[in-house]
A and B are shown apart, each in its own frame.
Chain A
């Protein structure tokens, strides 16, 4: 395992809002091909953490090293250019475009054709878009208006979009939230498969412990902004502190619970 390069290393990451520590001195690392889950109860700081990795939020202190570059202060689009794909807790797609066009826009951006005023988008990287859609099992929906998709399909479309820049790291914020149980397993299986095939590192947050323990190689547990446990699913499952936190809530979360602002 030590031969595998480190994609992401986070050191002493902290963020507070008006005196409340949303994230407190969090450190961890992620290697290529590894699937790392970030869990914790509501308000533990998962989303804040995520937003800082993505560039949507700036940490008060700490370092984020992504593929050899310090990304603190970089904008999401710059982080994306480094090879990071992102999916959101509540899907963010382009509802006025077709499914294929959604992926094509990402490919246009990846191909640095954003300011091409004269080309035809319809024919731009059409095959590549089709391949990505096939990869997530959405090939048959390519011509459909994105606005018509069911939620689970939107999640898969988002994954296809996130893969358009041939990312080395995927950041997935609650990838299965709002999905039916069967769909969840399916989506994560797909993600895991793609990650291993392409040697992509995946960092995801999740409320559904079934999903977490089934697919994560390692698990980070956040509580009140601090990292309280880290390890393989077995190690985390046996951690008394984690058990204490989750006691009474049950290890499997109701997926309808969504995390708020993270603070």
Chain B
């Protein structure tokens, strides 16, 4: 993809056999840290079903605390003691987080815990800079493991040998813990069937807390053990979290041995892959995950998930279309928004346009996630494809703006059609991770294919034509498209297709038994969502005047997830409110403070605790409560509800 042809081939001087062996050992050492962190994540997910986004933050905290302790207490005891104590300290932090925050939201809709842990991660990233300062910190080398041993002329760092030894030890320890202790038996039972353990009268609260503590301990230990080879800095969490998720999924959720094998597989493929393709690292884990998930939908050592039980707390108030009055209110709201250019300045209008674009984007993900029950972790792929589509058409083909805007999103459609086909074969977290893998593959293509996409320097000069160039015109354009997109998605929700989609989400068993081809329905929904996201992306390209690989990136995908969850995943249009609140707050905070992540993270955590069903979800609950207290509610309904939870 760029000019590297003048590199003399390595084949001319073949390295000795010893090299391959040492490269293999090096891969094993790399696998060790991945495995420690991944095993913790896998254990937590297996038992609590929490997608712990903060796992990387705990890893980073482990490194920071270990840095402080090992700097203060020298000597072998100071170092090794510091490592272990750091992991314990962070585990205690984990326990506090679990008891204060997560316990409140175990019964919230699926993935809501993701939102909470995402908020925590944001906070931690800023907090570590406040506490430890902005500079990269260089920790001590491990006493007794500073040098290297010679192996037929190749040097193997002794610390690598230590790391290679530690993962089987941890693996063995965990195996003993799970096989030989009562606690371990309970954890395994809970991994297989949470409800059964609850039925056995086990104190689930403490089981969850202790599991969370163990998982966090392993993450922090993984982080602490990195200080002799890495620099400690505030971006450590993001560097590892995605890779760790990938490892857990490749191995099979909840499988410790799977995590081990996957960590080794990924690390070795990387170690040897770079000998042939030096640029492979950037995408390798995602390629491996995509291939594994397509071939083995539950990971290498995972088992098919038992038919998903309905999440307790799932709304039992069926969705309904807007009444005439509500429709008028919506129109009135739209009219008010359309009047913004009368009294707001250019900046406010540009921000308004951006918010409107994110309303489209969030609504498209909401359609897939809430209506289709398919939580995509890689929805930005289709947003970004739409943006690149527009950039190609406008810059390279020189098409007029209106044509580019209409045709550009088709790239999102095509991407969604291809990737969606494979993704909908899976469900739950596996679906989420496959979408993430696809998004990362698209991202890395945009990032690497410099001649076409400009690489990370992007495509510049995608500015709107005169008719839409003014902030007011562009605002009206964005608002108009947003209104149309939201309206169309609403119509689809209440169309026969929308019901088929919800049927597939509610009960695969029943929908199949009434002739619904769930995969085809979900695939169609995926394509619809991808296309709408593409429209958002194409507007975004014109708003910003440029397109960068960022617009396909993980953080944008996560932002969209947060918007949907914030608004309320169980509502018809919560994403609209979620997008407005999140985006407006985000833009405002970034503009006002360098600590925007701390404040935004704190806000997200607060929302999670105060509005466990999302903003709109809670508003709706309040309204329904009022309604049902006025009308007579049947006494048997609560009993019925509790049955339904286990009725699938």
Contact = CB atoms under 8 A, between A and B. Distances in A.
Contact of B495 (A77, A90, A96, A118): A118
Contacts of B639: 150
A104 B491 contact: no
A77 B513 contact: yes
A88 B513 CA distance: 10
B507 A147 contact: no
Interface stretch (A24-32, A120-128, A214-222): A120-128
A54 B510 CA distance: 12
Interface stretch (A36-44, A107-115, A205-213): A107-115
Interface stretch (B12-20, B64-72, B75-83, B514-522): B514-522
Contact of A114 (B315, B500, B643): B500
Q: From A90, A96, A97, name the one whose CB has the most chain B CB atoms within 10 angstroms.
A: A96
B324 interface: no
Contacts of B192: none
Interface in A86-109: 86, 88, 90-98, 101, 104-106, 108-109
B512 interface: yes
Nearest to A81: B515
A88 B500 contact: no
Given A94-B502, A94-B506, A121-B494, A164 B514 contact: yes
Contacts of A75: 512
A122 B496 contact: no
Given A108-B499, A121-B496, A95 B515 contact: no
A93 B507 contact: yes
Contacts of A249: none
Contacts of A121: 494-496, 498-499
Contacts of B511: 94, 105
Contacts of A164: 514
A218 B643 CA distance: 33
Contacts of A109: 500, 514-516
B586 interface: no
Q: From B314, B506, B517, B524, name the one whose CB has the most chain A CB atoms within 10 angstroms.
A: B506
Q: From B491, B494, B637, B644, name the one whose CB has the most chain A CB atoms within 10 angstroms.
A: B644
B495 A117 contact: yes
Contact of B318 (A80, A97, A116, A150): A97
B636 interface: yes
Interface in B464-504: 491-492, 494-500, 502-503
Interface in A135-172: 145-151, 154, 161, 164-165
B396 interface: no
A94 B516 CA distance: 13
Contacts of A117: 491-492, 495, 497-498, 528
B11 interface: no
Contact of A161 (B514, B634, B644): B514
A40 B629 CA distance: 47
Nearest to B508: A92
Contact of A145 (B318, B496, B497): B318
A104 B499 contact: yes
A95 B517 CA distance: 19
Contact of B496 (A97, A113, A161): A113
A106 B640 contact: no
A231 B647 CA distance: 34
Nearest to A91: B647
A interface SS class: loop
A233 interface: no
B510 A93 contact: yes
B496 A119 contact: yes
A105 B640 contact: no
Contacts of A147: 314-316, 640-641, 644
Interface in B105-141: none
A98 B498 CA distance: 14
Q: From B492, B510, B644, name the one whose CB has the most chain A CB atoms within 10 angstroms.
A: B510
Contacts of A54: 513
Interface residues of A, number: 46
Q: From B319, B521, B524, B643, name the one whose CB has the most chain A CB atoms within 10 angstroms.
A: B643
A77 B516 contact: yes
Contacts of A120: 321, 494-495
Interface in B538-565: none
Q: From A101, A114, A119, A120, name the one whose CB has the most chain B CB atoms within 10 angstroms.
A: A114
Contacts of A113: 496
A95 B521 contact: no
Nearest to B633: A148
Nearest to A161: B514
A92 B509 contact: yes
A94 B507 contact: yes
A77 B644 contact: no
A115 B523 CA distance: 11
Interface string A164-201: 11000000000000000000000000000000000000
A76 interface: yes
Interface in B617-648: 634, 636-637, 639-641, 643-644, 647-648
A165 B499 contact: no
Nearest to B500: A114
Contacts of A149: 640
Contacts of A114: 496-497, 500, 516-517, 521
A79 to B, nearest CB: 9
A188 to B, nearest CB: 20
Interface of A: 54, 75-77, 80-81, 86, 88, 90-98, 101, 104-106, 108-110, 113-122, 124, 145-151, 154, 161, 164-165
**Top 7 A-B residue pairs of the complex, sorted by shortest distance between their CB atoms:** A147-B316, A92-B510, A94-B506, A106-B514, A108-B496, A116-B496, A80-B515
23 contacts: A54-B513, A77-B514, A80-B513, A80-B515, A81-B515, A92-B513, A96-B316, A96-B318, A101-B318, A108-B499, A109-B500, A110-B514, A114-B500, A114-B521, A115-B496, A115-B521, A117-B498, A121-B494, A121-B498, A145-B318, A147-B640, A151-B647, A161-B510
Given A77-B513, A117-B491, 18 more contacts: A76-B512, A86-B513, A88-B509, A96-B319, A97-B318, A105-B499, A105-B500, A105-B514, A114-B521, A116-B496, A117-B497, A119-B495, A121-B494, A122-B321, A146-B316, A149-B640, A150-B640, A164-B514
